[in-house]
Amino acid sequence: MTMIKKNWLPILVGMIYLLLIVFRSDLALAAWENSRYYLLEMVQILPVIFLLTVAIDVLIPREWIVKRLGSDSGMIGYLFALAFGSLSAGPIYAAFPIAKTLYQKGAKVGNIVVILSAWAVIKVPMLANEVKFLGPEFMVVRWFLTVVFILLMALVIEKAGVKIVAEEEGIQAPVAVKSDYCIGCSACARKMPEIFVMQEGKALVQQDLSLDQEQKNQLALVAQKCPTQAIAVRQQE
């Protein structure tokens, strides 16, 4: 039952495909062709995005991101986020893991909104094609109005106090490893063998943990350095 709840979406898609095969084989074939195209695209793009998120997490200090994209970054932060999103490449779904990594390293919600919105609608390659087919005047006016409303949207979302849901909110144990994210690099087990062990190529948490303050501080650093953000630490009240 737990597996069904966890994978309800692919199961639902599979059931829809089966119904289409039985009742409308022509639609099933068309759907499969579209799915195959996007799956191949994702296979080509996602490894690059994974490497980029790892590079952001490992190579860029948290202080650097907080200064330029954090809560006190002001208008400079919005402009930096706008440039980051505009100079990006790839489909919008590639932006989500990057946005999550930036948020976990201190970027505020408003700047995440700006990055995602700019990535979706005002990327430089998109603007170049827009000039080619619709003309420079149309592109400039559309770009200006889009930027205004992106910034407005970011401000409204910030003022409304909208939060990005942290996965660790649902964790009951002090620390857990998300097995779907773990790639078996064993870095956590090498740094804190008293907490993490490797089993069948995945990191697991030792049972009956009792952590002192020094271990909690070290654990937070280990979780932050995990290349796939597979370690979730429950926030203590």
Q: Report the C-alpha gap between 224 and 58 in whole angstroms.
A: 9
Instruction: Write phi, then psi, for 204 (nearest 5 degrees).
Output: -125, 155
What does each of the 237 residues of the chain score in pLDDT, given as a tens digit?
A: 566 776 778 888 888 888 888 888 888 888 888 888 777 877 777 777 777 777 777 788 878 888 999 988 999 999 999 999 999 878 888 899 899 889 878 899 999 999 999 999 999 989 999 999 999 999 999 999 999 999 999 999 999 988 776 554 445 567 888 877 788 888 899 999 988 999 888 899 886 667 788 888 888 888 888 877 788 876 554
Note whether 103 and 66 are within 8 A (CB).
no
Looking at the DSSP assignment, which residues form a beta bridge with residue 226? none
Count of all residues that appear for the chain in the document? 237
Residue at token pair 């860029």: 60
- How do the domains of the chain map onto residue ranges? 58-159, 167-233
pLDDT at 237: 43
Topology (CATH) of 167-233: Alpha-Beta Plaits (3.30.70)
Note whether 92 and 49 are within 8 A (CB).
no
- What pairing do the DSSP bridges indicate for beta strands 202-205 and 196-199? antiparallel
Count other C-beta atoms under 10 Å from residue 43's C-beta.
9
How distant is the alpha carbon of residue 170 from its chain centre? 18
**For residue 20, what are the contacts with CB-CB under 8 A and spacing of at least 6?**
27, 28, 31
